[in-house]
Amino acid sequence: MSRYWSKLVHSLTPYVPGEQPKINNLIKLNTNENPYGPGPKVIDALQKEAADTLRLYPDPNSDSLKQAIAEIHGLNINQVFVGNGSDEVLAHVFNALLKHDMPILFPDITYSFYPVYCGLYEIEFEEVPLTDSFEINVEDYFKENGGIIFPNPNAPTGRLLDLNEIERLLQQNSNSVVVIDEAYIDFGGKSAVSLVKLYPHLLVTHTLSKGRSLAGLRVGYAVGHPDLIDALHRVKDSFNSYPLDRFAQAGAIAALQDQVHFEENCHRVIKTRESLVVSLEKMGFEVLPSGANFIFTTHSKYDAEFLAGKLREHLIIIRHFKKPLRIAQYLRITIGTNEECQSLINALNSIL
């Protein structure tokens, strides 16, 4: 029936998200969700929304949510944009700010949704190779471009780029927008949001899916100069007036106002990450330094795909990317609870 498809649809190669298994007893270390749930204040706020008011549309502009985000970062509400997950925010970013005559730049190993958005919006891109140690060298981006985007920490490597390096890039590159995707910044990194007031061409995106334990609610946001935010609103209001429903807005506000629960959970994840790295290294794994809630690791004696398959037999799922070839021997493992990580170590002990 594909003769009914548009030409664009024929050309698309959609993103494939990590598996959400229908089986219950799996240990799920494959999609970087937070192992700890949202706090009771979030659950209360959601329960309050389950009411007669659901017959009414939500606030199309999510003003209260934007206010809560602005307060956390010491910004104005006109410097904040919200969307249905940061994936939707990113889609609008590509359409509104990264679609120009010159190709945009992003790392050769990075979030694999970026080339997908380029396909959807017909944006040319150039992949800039990471260094041999899987790091971003900002000098590789010192050239003419239609825009620059990368996650910090990068995905799926977990490697964190120093804020001074991001500032150096912003100073060298002022003719196009620089987007820093901070999906994982809550796990120990320094946020580039502090640079937003200084650089009108900087846009920083965040998600509530990882650090704030709300992947199921679908809330993400971007902060930047009001002119950049205005562009995103123009695209959003040409696409969907109500991307965030009443639950998403209320739950996100409650989550942002419970800083204690959030910081405790992130801290627990960081501690587990540190002990998991020690255990894996003892077993002969090489682990890249991680600033995220996952690690990227390889073993010199065991094939990565083999290990991923064996772990699955032990009911543990992790992520293995066959491509690009450069990372085919690496495994990306989400940091779970201490118990889940202990099960992982036990399973690996029996496999190796």
Ligand X SMILES: *Cc1c(COP(=O)(O)O)cnc(C)c1O
In the window 56-115, what residues touch ligand X (CB under 6 A)?
Answer: 85-87, 111
d(CA 252, CA 231): 23
- Least Cα distance to 207 among 248, 247, 236, 167 occurs for 248
Size of interface with ligand X, in residues (CB under 6 A) = 12
d(CA 145, CA 155): 22
151 touching ligand X, by CB under 6 A: yes
Least Å distance, CB 248 to ligand X, is: 11
Least Å distance, CB 183 to ligand X, is: 4
77 or 215: whose CB is closer to ligand X?
215
181 touching ligand X, by CB under 6 A: yes
220 or 302: whose CB is closer to ligand X?
220
User: Residue from 123, 136, 155, 204 that binds ligand X (CB under 6 A)?
Assistant: 155
DSSP conformation class of 215: T
- Residue 241 sits at the vertex; the CA angle it makes with 236 and 246, to the nearest 5 degrees, is 120
Least Å distance, CB 337 to ligand X, is: 19
- Least Cα distance to 232 among 98, 75, 110, 122 occurs for 98
- Least Cα distance to 246 among 73, 37, 64 occurs for 64
- Non-local (6+) Cβ contacts of 123 within 8 A are 94, 98, 99, 103, 104, 117, 146
d(CA 94, CA 147): 9
Least Å distance, CB 226 to ligand X, is: 23
38 touching ligand X, by CB under 6 A: no
In the window 185-224, what residues touch ligand X (CB under 6 A)?
Answer: 207, 209, 215, 220
85 or 243: whose CB is closer to ligand X?
85
In the window 308-347, what residues touch ligand X (CB under 6 A)?
Answer: none
182 touching ligand X, by CB under 6 A: no
248: part of which helix (H) or strand (E)?
helix 246-257
**3-state class of 132 per DSSP?**
coil
111 or 117: whose CB is closer to ligand X?
111
In the window 247-286, what residues touch ligand X (CB under 6 A)?
Answer: none
Instruction: Enumerate binding residues for ligand X (CB under 6 A).
Output: 85-87, 111, 151, 155, 181, 183, 207, 209, 215, 220
